[in-house]
C-alpha cells in the first residue's frame, strides 16, 4: 500500500512538471513570435522613415529651385523687361505719387539703452529726390 500513494504523488508531480514545461514552451513561443513581429515592424518603420526623408530632400530641392526662380523673376532688370514685353508703359513715379510713412516705435519696442534711431533720420521729402531714392 505504500507504493500506491507514492505512485499517485509521482504521477501528480510528473503532470505538474509536464504542465510547467508546456507552459514555458508556449510562453517562449509567443515571446519569439512577438520578437519577430517587432523586428518586422521596426524594418517597416525604417523603410517608411527613409522614404519620408527622401521626399523631404526632394521637396527641399524643389523649394530651393523655386526660391531661385522667384529671385530671378523679381530682379529689377527682369521686371523692366517684362513690363516692356507686356507694353505696360511704366515710368518712374512722380513726386506726387510717392507717399512717405513714418512710424514711432511701439512702447514694447523701445529700448532705453539704445538711442532712438528714428530721431536721427532726416525728413523724408527734403532728403529724398523725386525718384524716391535717397540722395547721398
Cβ neighbour number for residue 66 with a 10 Å cutoff: 10
Q: Residue 132 sits in which domain range?
A: 94-136
Q: Residue 86 has what pLDDT? A: 93
Number of domains composing the chain: 1
| Residue 20 within any structural domain of the chain | no
| Residue 100 within any structural domain of the chain | yes
Q: Residue 135 has what pLDDT? A: 45
Q: Residue 96 has what pLDDT? A: 87
Residue-wise pLDDT tens digits, 78-87: 998 999 999 9
Q: Among 103, 102, 89, 100, which residue's Cα sits nearest to residue 129? A: 100
| Residue 102 within any structural domain of the chain | yes
- CA-CA distances (angstroms) from residue 107 to 47, 85, 101, 110, 112? 53, 48, 19, 5, 10
Beta carbons within 8 Å of 90's beta carbon, 6+ residues apart: 80, 83
The radius of gyration computed from the CA coordinates of the chain, to the nearest angstrom, equals 41
| Residue 105 within any structural domain of the chain | yes
Kindly give the parts of the chain with pLDDT less than 50: 1-2, 127, 130-132, 134-136
Q: Residue 53 has what pLDDT? A: 97
Q: Residue 112 has what pLDDT? A: 61
Amino acid at each position: 500500500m505504500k507504493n500506491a500513494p507514492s505512485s499517485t504523488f509521482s504521477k501528480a508531480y510528473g503532470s505538474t512538471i509536464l504542465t510547467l514545461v508546456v507552459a514555458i514552451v508556449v510562453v517562449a513561443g509567443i515571446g519569439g513570435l512577438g520578437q519577430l513581429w517587432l523586428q518586422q515592424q521596426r524594418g517597416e518603420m525604417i523603410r517608411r522613415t527613409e522614404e519620408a526623408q527622401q521626399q523631404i530632400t526632394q521637396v527641399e530641392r524643389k523649394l530651393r529651385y523655386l526660391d531661385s526662380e522667384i529671385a530671378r523673376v523679381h530682379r529689377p532688370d527682369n521686371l523692366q523687361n517684362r513690363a516692356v514685353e507686356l507694353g505696360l508703359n511704366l515710368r518712374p513715379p512722380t513726386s506726387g505719387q510717392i507717399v512717405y510713412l513714418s512710424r514711432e516705435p511701439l512702447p514694447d519696442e523701445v529700448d532705453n539703452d539704445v538711442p532712438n534711431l528714428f530721431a536721427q533720420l532726416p525728413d523724408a521729402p527734403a532728403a529724398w529726390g523725386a525718384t524716391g531714392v535717397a540722395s547721398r
